[in-house]
Amino acid sequence: MSQMYKKLSSLQNLFTDENWYRLLLIFIAIFSTCLRFWGLARFDVLVFDEVHFANFAQSYLTNTHVFDAHPPLGKYFIAFGIWALGFNPVGYRWVNALVGSFIPIILIALAYRLTGNKRYALLSGFFASLDGLLLVEARLALLNTYLIFFGLLGHLFFLITLCKRGWKQWFFLTLTGIFLGATVAVKWSGLSIIIAIYATWLTIYILKKLFPENFIFTKDYSEKANFISPLEQIEQIKIYHLLYLPLIIYSIYILSWQPHLRQNPGTIKEIETQIYTFHKSFANKPEEHPYTSPWFTWPIMARPVSYFYETVKNPDEIVPTGKKPIPLNEAALVYDIHAMGNPLLYLLALVSLLWIIFTLVERFSLIAIELVFQQNPNNKKYLLAINFFVPLYLIISYSANLFSWAGVSRFTFLYHYIPASTFSFLTAAWVLEHCLVSSKQKSTKNLAIIIISIIFLGFLFFLPIYLGLPLSPRGFFLRMWLPSWI
């Protein structure tokens, strides 16, 4: 009897919350990595902008002059992959796949650092692993994977900086600047990721100065009684810190150009002018490409991008290599790589964003009214910081990365939505996690579980057009829910 009791006790110790957290973290990491590496060599042809970026990367290895419409850092990573494994599909894609595999893990770390909540952190990473757009971008020699990888690391280390003091604070602030500088050195659009940090600091700093400490937030954050959200400590970052940060960002940006300048004549300013002129030449010309889409359509995914499309008559044919497709009525199989998100996850994210915006406005209005009329403090409805500052940070970060495209005159694509969509996944996980722990209504918890299951099944349903797996014409059209998706 005592032996059985010991066995049961050891099983209980094995299935602790901490061990479950580690197991699920490992599962998400393996799941994400396998999807990104499986079958990288199947399409032995340059897909979409690989025509540019893989060749640009190769030019660094052959010391060939090249003009590129983006800063050079992303191509250095692709060039390293080519240097290691050769100019072949695996060679110019494997580094992207490796970097992309870490994005769900970084999101887990970011979510946990924000809230100290393991359920929320795991759900955030799980949603990122179920997004088709992140998956497609990571499986090809493209740049957006590096953009969001460095941008998320910049945000993560900024949150860590808020919790440090003395030399450690300066150390992590420097790391923040290094990664934020790297994201701009991949694409200029990385500036919106930096703007999100400054806008968060300014907004929360002003709110904390305007409202008494015991009024707008409390020390109660999560299941860990001693947890303090980094956002509560935003005032630890002073003006001189925010002036130091751009120096690091700019230094990394300048350093990233040095290998490029060694084999390409001109100064950074001259090259930047050429890049700006190039993008300006595509202003208000959506007809230049069939898959353009304006920024305000991205949250509903009105127009995804087809990166590869080919049809074959004979089901026994090998994986196609870029030949002209035959008409669908004559085709036996369709090979398609669609750069599109998980439609069900996008829908949940949009609903979650709207719900959080409404909730924030409603709660802040309540607080403002009570302050104006100076009601009895004992009757005031307090706002938890974990229920105010965290969603506020998510909304600010999402908005900065979406609305910055409103002023861009050149044509745009759905993949420009990736930084904003990543923060929308954090928002969706925030809402779902609150539903999962709802103690009042069991139906709310069950609904959350059903939604998560549907999103996972939806991902499996659309997986063939993320990976370019063969489909029958009917199977292909089953996945094209809107005419604008084709």
Q: Residue 65: phi, psi to the nearest 5?
A: -65, 140
Average pLDDT, integer, range 286-307: 89
Kindly tell me if the per-residue pLDDT of 4 is higher than 90: no
Q: Which CA distances in Å does 85 have to 42, 140, 386?
A: 16, 15, 47
Other CB atoms within a 10 A radius of the CB of residue 240 amount to 8
pLDDT given for residue 220 in this prediction = 44
Average pLDDT, integer, range 162-177: 92
Residues 378-391 pLDDT 10s: 444 444 556 678 88
- The pLDDT-based confidence of 154 (bands split at 50, 70, 90) is very high
Percentage of the residues of the chain whose pLDDT score is greater than 70: 86
In whole angstroms, give the CA distance from residue 467 to residue 35: 8
In whole angstroms, give the CA distance from residue 390 to residue 375: 27
Residues 65-77 pLDDT 10s: 888 889 999 999 9
Count helices and strands (H / E) in the chain.
18, 2
Q: Which tokens go with 239?
A: 């003006």
Average pLDDT, integer, range 136-151: 96
- Share the mean pLDDT of the chain: 86
CB 173 within 8 A of CB 244: yes
Q: Which residue has better confidence, 388 or 270? A: 270
Q: Which residue has better confidence, 249 or 2? A: 249
Nearest residue to 94 (alpha-carbon basis) of 143, 133, 52, 138: 138
User: Between the ranges 171-180, 223-232, 382-391, where is the mean pLDDT highest?
Assistant: 171-180
Q: Judging by beta carbons within 10 Å of its beta carbon (0-12, 13-18, 19+), is residue 438 exposed, middle or buried?
A: middle
Other CB atoms within a 10 A radius of the CB of residue 102 amount to 19
How wide is the angle at C-alpha 354 spanned by C-alphas 365 and 122, nearest 5°? 110
User: Between the ranges 120-129, 378-387, 441-450, where is the mean pLDDT highest?
Assistant: 120-129
Question: Which residues, in sequence order, are CB contacts of 115 under 8 Å at separation 6+?
Answer: 121, 221, 222, 227, 229, 386, 390
Q: Name the CA radius of gyration of the chain, rounded.
A: 24
CB 74 within 8 A of CB 2: no
In whole angstroms, give the CA distance from residue 163 to residue 226: 13
Q: Which CA distances in Å does 113 have to 161, 435, 480?
A: 11, 21, 38
Residues 446-483 pLDDT 10s: 888 899 999 999 999 999 999 999 998 999 999 999 99
Q: Is 312 helix (H, G, I), strand (E, B) or coil?
A: strand
Average pLDDT, integer, range 97-112: 96
Percentage of the residues of the chain whose pLDDT score is greater than 90: 56
CB 345 within 8 A of CB 300: no
Q: What share of the chain is helix, strand, coil (3-state, %, to 5)?
A: 70, 5, 25
Question: Which residues, in sequence order, are CB contacts of 24 under 8 Å at separation 6+?
Answer: 122
DSSP state of 287: G
Residues β-bridged to residue 136? none
CB 81 within 8 A of CB 94: yes
Global pTM reads 0.90
Q: Residue 310: phi, psi to the nearest 5?
A: -155, 150
